[in-house]
Amino acid sequence: ELIVLRFIAHLKLRRYVDLGKEVNMLGLLPFLPDRRSVDGPADQDDVVVNNNDLLDGPLSWKEGSIHSTESKDKLPPWIPYGLRILAAQQLQYNDGSSKALDVLLDMRDRTVRTEYWNTGGMEVWKSTLDNAIVNACIRMKEWRLALHYVEELIGGLEECVKREVLWWCRQDSVVGSIGEETRSQLRELITSAAHVELLSRQILILLQSGAIKAAETVQGDVRLHAAKVEGIVLTGALSRIHGEFALIRQVPIRQIVNDGLILFAQSDYELAAQRFRDAMELQQSVSADMNDSSTLNSTDDPSSPGYPSWKDLDSPTLGFDADPSLTVECINNLSLCLLYSGQMRAAVHEMESLIRKDPCEHLTEGMAFNLCTLYELGSDGEECTKRKKRLQRVAKRFFLHDIGVESFRLN
C-alpha cells in the first residue's frame, strides 16, 4: 500500500518519468509468458514466418513476454497482481495510451481464455482490467471502445456482486448480523449502486462524444436504480455498510451531478450551476455525518481512501468503486458554469468565497485555471497579474503542489 501511495503521489504531481523509473526498478511490468512454458517446445507446424525473422512460438495474439524487459519474472508470487495492473496503467503517461492499452488487453486475454493460457483463477481480475481499459480508452478519446468495456463491466456484475457480498459478510463490523433476508437486501443494494456508478460513467462518455440525447436516456436508468437504493430501509448491518461503502453512499450525489452535466451540455448554465451547488451541499452533509459517526465510534474515518486498498490489489470483488468525495468534480464544473454564464463579477466572488472557506479542498487545478481566466476577462493587465500571483501564493501557502504553474496562466 505504501508503494501505491508513492505511485499516486507521482501521478498527482505529474512526475511521470519518476513513476516509470520506479516501476522499472521494482520490475512490476507484467511478465506474460507464452504457452510454451506450459505446453513444452513448439511443434514444427507452429513456426511462423514474418518479413524479418522466424518466431518459434505458437501463433496467437501477443505471444510471449513482450511487455517486460526481463528474461524472467523476478518478483516473488506474493506480490499482488493488482500492483502489476497499476504498473501497466502508468504506461499511458510515459509511452502513450496505446501501449498501456496493449498491455492491459493482453492481461485481460489471460483472464478470459484461462484454459488456453493455463491461468485458472485469474477470472476475478477481469472487472478490474475492464475498468482500467475504460480509463485508458477515455484518455485516448476512443469513445466506442470505452462504452464497450463499460458494457462488459455491467454484464459481469452478477458474479462481482456475489464476491462483494461475501466479503462484507466476513467483516468484523457486520459478521453475525447478516441473515438471509439481509444478505438479499445487501445484494440488491450493491447491484443498484453499481449500476448507478457504471451508467454514470456511460453518461460522461456520451456527453464527451456529443451524444446528449443518449445521455438523457441513460440518466433515466440511473434514476430508476437510485430509487431502488433509496427504497431499501437501512438498519443494522446495512446502515453500517452504507456508511463504509462509498459506492452506495454517493448514489444520490452522483445522480444530481449527472443532472448538472446534462444541463451544462444543453447550455443551461445557471440551472446546471445550481445542481452542482446542491450536490456540494449534499456531499458536505454526508461528510459531516461520516465524521460524526467516526467520532462516536472512536474509529478512523471508514470512508474509501481514494486509492487502491489491499483488497483491490490482492482479492478484487467488484473491480471498481465510486469516488469517496465528488466535491472537486462539483467545484470544477461549477466554475465552468460560472465562466460560461458571463456573470464575471458574481462568478469571481463565489469562486473566491469557496477558496477562502477551505483552500485545501476547494482550490483545485481546474478552479485555479478557470478563476485566472476570469481575472483576464474582467481586469486590466497589471491588476490581473497581481490577482493571479496572490492566488498562486495561496496555493504555495497550503502546499497544494499538485496545481501546476500553468494553471495560473502567468506568462
CA distance 379 to 104: 48
- Specify which residues 55 forms β-bridges with: 48
8 Å CB contact between 55 and 48: yes
CA distance 19 to 93: 9
Per residue in 322-350, pLDDT (tens digit) is 988 898 889 889 888 988 888 788 888 88
More confident: 404 or 77: 404
User: What is the pTM (predicted TM-score) of this model?
Assistant: 0.82
Q: Which three cell numbers stand for residue 296?
A: 462516536
Look at phi and psi of residue 369 and say left if phi exceeds 0, alpha if psi is from -120 to 50, else beta: alpha
Per residue in 26-75, pLDDT (tens digit) is 888 766 655 544 444 444 444 333 333 323 333 233 334 445 545 555 66
Which of 305, 324, 306, 318 has the alpha carbon at shortest distance from 129?
318
Per residue in 161-208, pLDDT (tens digit) is 999 998 888 876 655 567 788 889 999 999 999 999 999 999 999 999
What pLDDT does residue 235 have?
Answer: 75
DSSP 215: H
Which of 220, 182, 190, 187 has the alpha carbon at shortest distance from 202?
220
Per residue in 366-397, pLDDT (tens digit) is 889 989 998 998 888 889 999 999 999 999 99
Residue 137 to residues 88, 147, 157, 187, 365, Cα–Cα distance (Å): 14, 9, 21, 30, 23
Per residue in 89-99, pLDDT (tens digit) is 888 887 666 78
More confident: 58 or 226: 226
C-alpha 403: how far from its chain's center?
Answer: 19
